[in-house]
């Protein structure tokens, strides 16, 4: 098979897969999982046919996917892929750009600059901010926290790039008690030390308690969050951030999915968030782009650019080239699917998508209560946290639901007891899908 025929065959298989996402099992059955044994081959001595390789990947692989790109996946705020974003991604694959700088890809640099401008506008964040399109909220949080530390040390006359950490003034890190694990990971990787992290107590809703905020100073980084993974709650930014910044601290906000509330009628949840120094968000969650698509946003553009700079004699670029704002040197043009998603939705479409998911989450909560479950959160966003009568029943219901293959959501532990969490974040999810889920949940409760 020649290249074009092979790519056409891949496209045909991809189209068949996409056409089936509404009817496939959401989690593969035992037979499909057993079929994965076909991949346990020795590395071939001689190359195998590309066509047969594609066939294996589709026949055994497609069957063993979790259909998070479908309408009835309610785990982890994963989202599906919007058609415009998925289509842009397909074309980008053909281009195979190394989107590090204008010289390597004029089109990527241009489109990503527009995407950056649109993201700041959609999220109503300071327009002078730098936007680095990185692989994940994890990587982007790492970038932002590295910039924060470098800037705080520079204000104290310490040259972090030259002198590193040994002997440097100590930087205090304060995070919410309900901080996301990936923020802790970023801090750990950066060398802050998990035992040195100070936890800000949260109130009954899971928001950082303003009255109990630990003392901050100009050696401090405060990490807040927009959208807690279980409850969807937001920290009270308008009260916390001015206080923190007045003491000279750097404020970072993890808004992996929740920041998108700001692009909708739910924006009041985020009031004051614009006063922070840096923000992280994902496009691959609530904006519904394909994976590896997140943003590090930094009010002081130079702070991020100086931290992430990777210019060399053979490879120099502008300060705002993406390779100088992200961890990657060679990189995909991650901002292009963001641009395509925003262009196809427009400001109104983004708002409507967010608002629809929040309404659907309200309906989920209402239906679960009617079916006799206990809803544990206020459902301010697209997250519903709930449990059945006992811990054992909670686990049993979740496992039974997952086994149906009709829908999928995950479990968690909330205030020491098992709970279940439903996230509504796929553009494909229609009200019928919500009713179908509620029908199943009602049956399972018996």
| Nearest residue (CB) to ligand PLP, 304 versus 440 | 304
Token match 């130079």: residue? 302
| Strand stretches in 72-203, DSSP E | 130-134, 172-176, 198-200
Residue closer to ligand PLP, measured from CB, 104 or 135: 135
Alpha-carbon span 329 to 190, nearest angstrom: 19
Report DSSP state, residue 286: T
CB of 384 to ligand PLP, least distance (A): 15
Q: Structure tokens of 202? A: 């949260």
Where residue 238 falls (left for φ over 0; alpha for ψ -120 to 50; beta otherwise) is alpha
**Residue number with CB closer to ligand PLP (293 or 388):** 293
Phi, psi (deg, nearest 5) at residue 435: -65, -40
Q: Using the minimum distance from each CB to ligand PLP, give the nearer residue, 158 or 192.
A: 192
Q: What is the smallest separation between the CB atom of 281 and ligand PLP, expressed in angstroms? A: 9
Q: Given the complex with ligand PLP, which of 116 and 441 has the nearer CB atom?
A: 116
| CA 245 – CA 174 distance, rounded (Å) | 13
User: Which residue's structure tokens are 């589709």?
Assistant: 58
CA angle 61, 339, 314 (to 5 degrees): 90
CB of 296 to ligand PLP, least distance (A): 11
- In terms of CB distance, is 184 or 245 closer to ligand PLP? 184
> CA nearest 299: which of 321, 318, 280, 285?
280
Closest CA to 295 of 124, 101, 143, 102: 143
Contact (Cβ atoms closer than 8 angstroms) between residue 118 and residue 342: yes
Buried-state track 166-176, b at ≥16 Cβ within 10 A, e below 16: eeeeebbbbbb
- For the CB of residue 142, give the shortest distance to ligand PLP in the complex, in Å: 10
Minimum separation from the CB atom of position 182 to ligand PLP (A): 4
Cβ 199 to ligand PLP shortest distance, Å:
16
Name which of 86 and 226 has its Cβ closer to ligand PLP: 226
**CB 102 → ligand PLP: shortest distance, Å?**
27
HSE-up (13 A, CA, CB side) for residue 213: 25
| Residue 272 structure tokens | 């004051």
Residue number with CB closer to ligand PLP (379 or 444): 379
DSSP β-bridge partners for residue 253: 224, 279
Q: Which residues bind ligand PLP (CB under 6 A)?
A: 77, 136-138, 180, 182, 225, 227, 229, 254, 256-257, 282, 294
Compute the least distance from the CB of residue 79 to ligand PLP, in Å: 11
């Amino acid at each position: 098979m020649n290249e074009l025929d092979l790519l056409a065959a891949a496209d045909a298989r991809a189209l068949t897969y996409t056409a089936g996402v509404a009817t496939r099992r959401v989690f593969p059955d035992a037979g499909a999982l057993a079929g994965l044994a076909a991949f346990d081959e020795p590395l071939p001595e001689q190359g195998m046919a590309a066509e047969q390789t594609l066939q294996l990947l589709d026949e055994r692989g497609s069957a063993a996917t979790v259909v998070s790109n479908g309408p009835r996946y309610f785990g982890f705020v994963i989202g599906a892929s919007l058609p415009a974003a998925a289509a842009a991604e397909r074309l980008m694959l053909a281009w195979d750009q190394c989107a590090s700088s204008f010289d390597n890809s004029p089109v990527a640099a241009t489109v990503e600059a527009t995407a950056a401008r649109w993201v700041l506008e959609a999220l109503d964040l300071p327009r002078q901010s730098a936007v680095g399109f990185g692989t994940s909220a994890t990587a982007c949080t790492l970038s932002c926290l590295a910039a924060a530390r470098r800037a705080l040390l520079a204000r104290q006359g310490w040259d972090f790039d030259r002198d590193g950490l040994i002997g440097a003034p100590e930087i205090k890190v304060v995070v919410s008690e309900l901080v996301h694990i990936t923020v802790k990971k970023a801090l750990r990787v950066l060398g802050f030390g998990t035992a040195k992290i100070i936890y800000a107590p949260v109130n009954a809703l899971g928001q950082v308690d303003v009255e109990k905020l630990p003392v901050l100073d100009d050696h401090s980084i405060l990490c807040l969050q927009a959208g807690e993974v279980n409850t969807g709650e937001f920290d009270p930014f308008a009260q916390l951030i001015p206080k923190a910044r007045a003491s000279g601290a750097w404020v970072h906000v993890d808004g992996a999915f929740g920041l998108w509330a700001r692009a909708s009628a739910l924006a009041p949840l985020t009031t004051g968030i614009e006063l922070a120094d840096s923000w992280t968000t994902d496009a691959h969650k609530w904006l519904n782009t394909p994976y590896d698509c997140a943003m590090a946003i930094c009010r002081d553009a130079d702070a991020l650019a100086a931290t992430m700079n990777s210019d060399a004699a053979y490879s120099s670029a502008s300060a705002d080239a993406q390779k100088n704002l992200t961890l990657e040197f060679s990189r995909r043009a991650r901002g292009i699917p963001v641009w395509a998603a925003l262009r196809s939705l427009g400001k109104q479409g983004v708002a409507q998508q967010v608002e629809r998911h929040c309404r659907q989450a309200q309906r989920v909560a209402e239906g679960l209560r009617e079916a006799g479950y206990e809803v544990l959160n206020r459902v301010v966003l697209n997250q519903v946290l709930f449990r059945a009568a006992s811990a054992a029943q909670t686990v049993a219901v979740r496992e039974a639901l997952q086994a149906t293959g009709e829908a999928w959501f995950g479990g968690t532990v909330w205030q020491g007891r098992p709970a279940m969490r439903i996230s509504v974040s796929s553009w494909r999810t229609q009200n019928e899908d919500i009713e179908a889920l509620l029908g199943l949940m009602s049956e399972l409760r018996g």
